Structure 1
Amino acid sequence: MTRVLHLSTYGAKSGAGVAALRLLEAERSYGLDAELLLMAPNSETLAGVHALGNDRRLYRAWQCQLWSERALVALLNGFNREQTFKTSLGRLGISMRVLRPYLAKVDLIHLHWTQHAFLSLRTLEELCKLGLPVVITLHDYWWAQGIEQMETKPSELSAPLRRLDRQVRQRKAELMAYYPIHWVTVSSSLANEVSRPPIIPRLGVSTIGNVLSAHYYQQAQSQGSRDTNEQVPYQILFVATRVDDPIKGWSYLSTAMRQLADLAGEQRAQMQLTLVGALSDRTLLKQIPIPVEHLGSISDAERLRSLYAESSVLISTSERESFGQTILESLACGTPVIARDSGGPADIVIDGVNGALVAHDKPQEMATALWQHFTEARVYQPEACRATALRFAPTAIAQQYAQLYAQLIDDTQRANS
């Protein structure tokens, strides 16, 4: 039985952490001996999950390193907060002494989002020296760049941070060229992006999507009728961790809603935009000219599932999206998706089948697609939506990883023999 150790800084409170937890569950169900080591404290009761942060001593040590790194970024960037949490330096992290007890009898190491002072580049090299194959799933652009996590072009970094960026970029290139590291991207668009920089590992890049959670997988298998909202004939759903996060495209969303209101005229009263997620400035709701309801953050999986099922359509307006977990969840509930073409959604949304993919720089296309759906000029069948979600079923994704693991373990054993 293949023994895999996954590592992720965060658990259920981050998108990458959720993806790692779902993959762990899928792999264990598939028959792999998989475990997940988290840095942050975690209350998950899922089998195979270990959280270093649940140990107060280790938690304090990690927090000290994390905030030391954040303070250095702020200092080097002239105390401009813009980059404080958008960069990771890769210099500080947990020592091998802490990790070693979890590495016994492991066949392969699988890294997810390990920034924020969990795994330093020095510790990564020490892990590679164990002679085990290493897989890194990219949930953003950090491994393919220097210190930045999301930007694919030079951002507003100070001269000291630019120098540090070049140093980190060079260090990553050296590691990828020398050690048996294999990248996995969660979408084909992300694969195209990270294949351009000169940091590509010598073992190459694979593309394997995120796992549809077991909860939503069961929903997708059900062919029962979708729930309907009797009070609001046309309910538009938007789900994000933080609704007004610039990366989630609030400007695009509000513009599309204004143009939809123009198309709808008096019929706008039959529509409602429902927002799920934190909102730092409630005055932004005044920019939406159709009825709008902000529900705040929702951690109850069943309540969120009901919202997906009750809605007429989910919209995704992200400036950049590496995958699109909410898109997958909506489709599993039989609800179509109209998404901005921002990367990952292109791997999930099939135009005219389970929704529409609209131009990145044309919010009027989203407004038009919503209007056509509202007027039934375009109809998307719930069965088709569910069928496309099932492409990311736990067994299917676990099988792809199992095949990749087996190949990498075999290649490594040959190279070491």
Structure 2
Amino acid sequence: MKVTLINTADAGGGAPAACMRLLKALEAKQVDVTLAVQEKKTAEPLVIDAVSNPVSKANFFAERLPFIFFQEKDKSVRFAFSPANSGSNISNHPAVVGADILHLHWTNSGFLSIKNLKELFALGKPIVWTLHDMWAFTGGCHYSGGCDHFLHQCGDCWMLRKPSVNDLSHKVWKRKSGFLLQTENLTVVTCSNWLGGVARTSSLLGTKPIHTIPNPIDINAFSPKDKVSMREKWNINTNARVILFGAANINDRRKGITYLVDALNQLKQNYLHTEKVEIAIFGKNKHFDVNTLPFKVYELGIINSQSDLAEIYSLADIFVSPSVEDNLPNMVMESLACGTPVTAFNTGGIPDMIDHLENGYLAEYKSAQDLAVGLHHVLFNSVMAALKENARQKVLKYFTPEIVAGQYIELYKSLLSK
């Protein structure tokens, strides 16, 4: 059984991290597996460049520039919508030709256009498509922001400068429908139960077989470290109650930083003993002023190393995720694997990982007040040791590489048996 995973990159975001973890999990189970990418960023020998660098850059700008100049509503949606009008034909690449199963992941940013996807489906091979966001069944958005136009044929898109019935989102939907509605060799996998439920309601994928299989995580790389020694290493107060917040881009509207600011202010105003609270933040931050936070802040910057991430999760008392739209965020799972409870909004795939009051706190959606309640509950809970143990055990029970790889292998075998 030869499986070729296909993803835009092998590092630099949530989907690349999840895809690389699956690659290693399948390798450990003796699957003949390769990852074909647009841009190889790691030294992993199982990863191959499917597109030359000059071509990949040209495709990226060919997709982005027309959208930026003529279509986007404003900068906030610049990378939230992908028309997929430019890409590379990889249907003749040896890694594709020699595969028994093609396993698509995230293919945007000029890697595969809709035409290129159609070329892969036309090969007739079994195709598994793991969805890391909503793009596969929308008219171009990665997360709909509450819009339900994907239930029909999209159009009148709030992300576009001039929304109309026949706007870019409707045209993208029509291009996708040209092959997705007819294909019989597609099996959809969603990383969360939430995304699976939404995909089943969509006009493009609603009739396809849809399975839910989570992303795996390296439980050895992400494991609990000694809190005191980690704080000493990172120069963080060993006596503080530390709240950790992180995001690839702290200013991403989906990550909910405004709710976090509100919740932290309510935590300080409404509860006693919060003078012990301090905040640690990591991720790209170009615009957010940490001085707006009511507690002492440690800015840790962009963290790329898994070992550094594990240390940072381990030094915290709690990780907070105020995301308002998310599939199965890696950071929540990483924190739990390191034995650090999580407080987050009850939305998306987050409830797949957080058991309310057992390994964290699921706050009412978009309620900064309840988020503050959750922060206080975990930070000042007398059963903190049990919360930490439950956090780690949740990951060991559902999200180990062996468990997730086994689920995918069963799916692959069922498809090949047909």
Q: What is the TM-score when the length of structure 1 is the normalising length?
A: 0.90
Which residue of the other structure, out of 117, 120, 126, is the alignment partner of 1:133? 126
Which residue of the other structure, out of 343, 349, 371, is the alignment partner of 2:348? 343
Is 1:157 aligned to 2:123, yes or no? Answer: no
Moved more, 158-167 or 130-139: 158-167
Separation in 2 of the partners of 1:78 and 1:110?
A: 31
Determine the structure 2 residue equivalent to 1:192: 197
Partner amino acid, structure 2, of 1:281: H
Q: What is the Cα deviation at residue 327 of structure 1?
A: 1.0
Determine the structure 2 residue equivalent to 1:21: 20
Separation in 2 of the partners of 1:191 and 1:234?
A: 37
Is 1:400 aligned to 2:407, yes or no? Answer: yes
SS in 1 for 2:343: strand
SS in 2 for 1:381: helix
Task: Decide whether aligned partners of structure 1 residues 197 and 79 sit closer, same or farther in structure 2, where only a CA change above 3 A counts.
Answer: closer
Task: Decide whether aligned partners of structure 1 residues 406 and 399 sit closer, same or farther in structure 2, where only a CA change above 3 A counts.
Answer: same
Alignment of 1:50-199 (within 5 A): 50-52=48-50, 58-77=52-71, 80-96=74-90, 99-151=92-144, 152-153=146-147, 154-159=157-162, 163-179=167-183, 180-199=185-204
Partner amino acid, structure 1, of 2:270: L
Q: What is the Cα deviation at residue 175 of structure 1?
A: 1.8
Q: What is the Cα deviation at residue 79 of structure 1?
A: 7.7
Separation in 1 of the partners of 2:90 and 2:192?
A: 31
Cα deviations by residue, 1:173-223 (Å, 9 ceiling, x for unpaired)? 332222211111110111122222210164321111111125436x27xxx
Separation in 2 of the partners of 1:49 and 1:128?
A: 22
| Aligned residue pair count | 398
Q: What is the Cα deviation at residue 90 of structure 1?
A: 2.2
Alignment of 1:368-387 (within 5 A): 368-376=373-381, 379=384, 380-387=386-393
Separation in 2 of the partners of 1:214 and 1:375?
A: 27
Q: What is the Cα deviation at residue 164 of structure 1?
A: 2.3
Task: Decide whether aligned partners of structure 1 residues 255 and 378 sit closer, same or farther in structure 2, where only a CA change above 3 A counts.
Answer: farther
Partner amino acid, structure 2, of 1:349: I
Q: What is the Cα deviation at residue 281 of structure 1?
A: 2.1
Q: What is the Cα deviation at residue 225 of structure 1?
A: 6.3
Q: What is the Cα deviation at residue 378 of structure 1?
A: 5.5
What is the Cα-based RMSD across aligned positions, in Å?
2.1
Give structure 1 regions of 4+ aligned residues with deviation exceeding 4 angstroms. 224-230
Separation in 2 of the partners of 1:299 and 1:225?
A: 21
Partner amino acid, structure 2, of 1:48: L
Moved more, 88-97 or 292-301: 88-97
Separation in 2 of the partners of 1:12 and 1:199?
A: 29
Cα deviations by residue, 1:84-143 (Å, 9 ceiling, x for unpaired)? 32221122111246x422223311000110012211222222212222101111111100
Check the 8 A contact 1:5/1:106 in 2, yes or no.
yes
Which residue of the other structure, out of 312, 318, 322, is the alignment partner of 1:317? 322
Structure 1: unaligned runs, 5 residues or longer: 412-417
Separation in 2 of the partners of 1:202 and 1:263?
A: 49
Cα deviations by residue, 1:237-296 (Å, 9 ceiling, x for unpaired)? 11211222221101000000000111335x3321111001111125x2122111111111
Task: Decide whether aligned partners of structure 1 residues 227 and 52 sit closer, same or farther in structure 2, where only a CA change above 3 A counts.
Answer: farther
Structure 2: unaligned runs, 5 residues or longer: 148-156, 232-236
Q: What is the Cα deviation at residue 314 of structure 1?
A: 0.7
Check the 8 A contact 2:2/2:98 in 1, yes or no.
yes
Higher helix share: 1
Partner amino acid, structure 1, of 2:294: P
Alignment of 1:346-361 (within 5 A): 346-361=351-366
Is 1:277 aligned to 2:283, yes or no? Answer: yes
Determine the structure 1 residue equivalent to 2:292: 287
SS in 1 for 2:39: coil
Q: What is the TM-score when the length of structure 2 is the normalising length?
A: 0.89
Separation in 1 of the partners of 2:89 and 2:379?
A: 56
Check the 8 A contact 1:212/1:329 in 2, yes or no.
yes
Determine the structure 1 residue equivalent to 2:267: 260
SS in 1 for 2:93: helix
Q: What is the Cα deviation at residue 331 of structure 1?
A: 1.1
Partner amino acid, structure 2, of 1:175: F
